[in-house]
């Protein structure tokens, strides 16, 4: 789909209007009254209709591995003229040592002391707290506050603190009720060796970002040595999850789409921020994340806690992307990381969270990672990953800030040594007085050399798809009222199949017309399915509704016209055969809504109850 700026706004308005019309015409838009039944029905439908399939199914499957196809909307890359890269999944250890993954990419694990079964310690504690809060209405105010505080601090607990809470609450192995070991770190990366000798250690990449960072020098050159610019990559990432669960929400192999937007750390403005500044969205700033507080609807331009314009711009673009797909605005929020969640180098970070039957869950992270990644790889590789700003006239500058230099000099004279915190090493180094001398020096510079900051939107494609499944899925009774039919309310822009084409009955003349329509749709780039099975037309409609096909075209005995049926309203219009393709293309591209089309073309009576 072409994503120019004008098209983006116009299409969004039309699709939002279409989504509202479709939602209002559908019964049971919120299918979470009976959560377990909803999940079971949804999972069975997804697998039965091959939206996703457990990997290696004929061998019994492997937990955390699924096969599926993500939607291919280049909402970001086209609009921002991004450089797209495709890096290997195998990553040498040295790269992941520089990034900190080898040392710190861990989760805390506990084992069943009898069976040896492994569990994520924070998941067990989170489940315990959530169960108590949800199912014990007589908890004291103090206990409620305590459990909520534990949930808020989960990511910041040390192994000792986590183990202490597990013991305090008497948490045991969920399957056997056996006692659990103390928590200990488990690195989530899949380790391997590169080459037949096995002397080059490596890992399957846990993210796609590092391939962009190590290529910064070439990407910067390719972009004419100018900032800002962005590079994007979509591909597989691998994490050896301790206890994958919740179906498509936690994988061992999954698809990531990541953008690294490189920017001058002294100027993080964005020329297109004005295009998203008036968006109103649910925000959850860190100061609101106290017990009893909730999200607030804010105009993006008024969200003062967002660190800079570029970060705010990508929050807006993520919002537009997710709602364009069909994610409900009222079940989408942007939560700011609290201080204890932030990496030491990060300037700010927000998660796009979507509410589903499991609660609020992250699907996109939008972070200002400062200059950490390029500095770390520069330090480890010895290759400067820097940008240049050429001055129109030479500038006189001090080699070091005078105040800082005097403080260092005084410390060396009084103590004989001084410590510097080196961010890329994440430790302090000691400099002794016999190693350096400090004097004031003025020099002329013709250019400024600096390490760019990076703003990173990171999109979990699998989670977005799952949330889209939940937000689009509902059931409705058939006309006879004796059966519940499953329906996916996919917007045309993301529906895997856009149209189905049916001859009303088995008849050579009708079949010939239907096949020609199908061929014309394909030539216009509209993916469609032709169905001439002997089933009743009602059963064929129901079957396509179940896989989310927005429009069904039926060729009946009227020689020059056909009917087009809209999935959610089940309304039908009659259209000339020669206009079918153009009408469908307008609907699928968002140029016109179904309501627009209905006003232009005559309606066609719905089928009888016996047929639907």
For residue range 141-180, what is the model confidence (pLDDT) as tens digits? Answer: 888 888 888 887 887 788 999 999 999 999 999 989 999 9
Asked if the 492-611 domain carries CATH number 3.40.50.2300, the reply is no
DSSP string, 213-278: HHTHHHHHHHTTS-SSEEEEEEEEEE---SS--SGGGS-SEEEEEEEEEEE-TT----TTGGGTTT
Query: What is the pLDDT, as a whole number, of residue 10?
Result: 46
The Cα–Cα gap between 198 and 211 comes to: 22
What pLDDT sits at residue 423? Answer: 56
Place of tokens 């993520």: 318
The ranges of the chain with pLDDT < 50 are: 1-12, 14-32, 56, 58-59, 62, 68-73, 608-611
Q: What share of the chain in percent tops pLDDT 90?
A: 48
Query: What's the CATH fold of domain 265-366+452-477?
Result: BirA Bifunctional Protein; domain 2 (3.30.930)
**Cα 414 from Cα 605, distance rounded (Å):** 94
418, 79, 477, 57: which is closest to 272 by C-alpha?
A: 79
User: Cα angle at 64 between 66 and 119, to 5 degrees?
Assistant: 170
pLDDT confidence of residue 71: 37
Evaluate whether 33-104+188-263+372-386 and 265-366+452-477 have a shared fold: yes
Calculate the CA 37 to chain-centre distance: 26
> How many angstroms separate the CA atoms of 300 and 324, rounded?
18
Where do the structural domains in the chain lie, given as residue ranges?
33-104+188-263+372-386, 106-187, 265-366+452-477, 387-448, 492-611
CATH fold of 106-187 reads Herpes Virus-1 (3.30.40)
Q: What is the CATH number of domain 33-104+188-263+372-386?
A: 3.30.930.10
């Amino acid at each position: 789909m072409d994503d120019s700026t004008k098209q983006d706004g116009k299409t969004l308005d039309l699709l939002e209007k279409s989504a509202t019309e479709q939602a209002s015409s559908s019964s049971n838009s919120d299918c979470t009254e009976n959560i377990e039944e909803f999940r079971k029905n949804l999972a069975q439908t997804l697998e039965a209709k091959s939206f996703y399939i457990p990997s290696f199914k004929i061998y019994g499957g492997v937990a955390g591995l699924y096969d599926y196809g993500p939607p291919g909307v280049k909402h970001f890359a086209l609009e921002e003229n991004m450089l797209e890269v495709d890096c290997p999944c195998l990553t040498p250890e040295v790269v992941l040592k520089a990034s900190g993954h080898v040392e710190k990419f861990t989760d805390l694990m506990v084992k069943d002391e009898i069976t040896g079964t492994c569990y994520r310690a924070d998941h067990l504690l989170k489940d315990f707290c959530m169960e108590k809060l949800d199912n014990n209405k007589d908890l004291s105010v103090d206990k409620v506050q305590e459990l909520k505080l534990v949930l808020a601090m989960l990511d910041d607990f040390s192994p000792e603190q986590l183990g202490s809470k597990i013991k305090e609450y008497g948490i045991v192995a969920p399957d056997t009720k056996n006692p659990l070991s103390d928590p200990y770190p488990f690195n989530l990366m899949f380790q391997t060796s590169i080459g037949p000798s096995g002397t080059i250690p490596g890992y399957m990449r846990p993210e796609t970002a590092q391939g962009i960072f190590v290529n910064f020098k070439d990407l910067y050159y390719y972009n004419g040595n100018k900032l800002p610019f962005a590079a994007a990559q979509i591909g597989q990432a691998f994490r050896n999850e301790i206890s994958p669960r919740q179906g498509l929400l936690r994988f061992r192999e999954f698809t990531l789409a990541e953008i690294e937007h490189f920017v001058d750390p002294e100027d993080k403005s964005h020329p297109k921020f004005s295009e998203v500044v008036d968006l109103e969205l649910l925000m959850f700033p860190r100061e609101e994340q106290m017990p009893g507080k909730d999200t607030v609807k804010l105009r993006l331009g008024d969200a003062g806690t967002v660190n800079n314009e570029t970060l705010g711009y990508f929050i807006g673009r993520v919002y537009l992307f997710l709602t364009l797909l069909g994610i409900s605005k009222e079940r989408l929020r942007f939560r700011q990381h609290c201080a204890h969640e932030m990496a030491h180098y990060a300037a700010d970070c927000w998660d796009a969270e979507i509410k589903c039957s499991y609660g609020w869950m992250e699907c996109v992270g939008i972070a200002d990672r400062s200059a950490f990644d390029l500095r770390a790889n520069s330090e480890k590789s010895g290759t400067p990953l820097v940008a240049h700003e050429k001055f129109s006239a030479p500038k006189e500058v001090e080699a070091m800030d005078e105040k800082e230099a005097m403080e260092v000099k005084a410390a060396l004279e009084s103590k004989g040594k001084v410590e510097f915190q080196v961010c890329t090493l994440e430790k302090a180094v000691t400099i002794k007085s016999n190693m350096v001398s400090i004097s004031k020096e003025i020099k002329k510079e013709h250019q400024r050399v600096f390490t760019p900051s990076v703003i990173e939107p990171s999109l979990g494609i699998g989670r977005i798809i799952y949330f889209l499944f939940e937000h689009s899925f509902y059931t409705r009774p058939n006309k006879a009222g004796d059966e519940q039919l499953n329906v996916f309310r996919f917007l045309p822009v993301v529906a895997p199949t856009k149209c189905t084409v049916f001859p009303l009955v088995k008849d050579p003349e009708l079949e010939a017309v239907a096949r020609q329509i199908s061929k014309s749709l394909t030539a216009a780039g509209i993916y469609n399915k032709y169905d001439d099975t002997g089933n009743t037309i009602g059963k064929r409609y129901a079957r396509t509704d179940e896989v989310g096909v927005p429009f069904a075209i039926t060729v009946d005995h009227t020689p020059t016209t056909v009917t087009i049926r809209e999935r959610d309203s089940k309304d039908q219009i009659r259209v000339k055969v020669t206009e079918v393709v153009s009408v469908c293309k307008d609907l699928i591209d968002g140029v016109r809504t179904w309501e627009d089309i209905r006003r232009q073309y005559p309606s066609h009576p719905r089928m009888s109850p016996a047929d639907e």
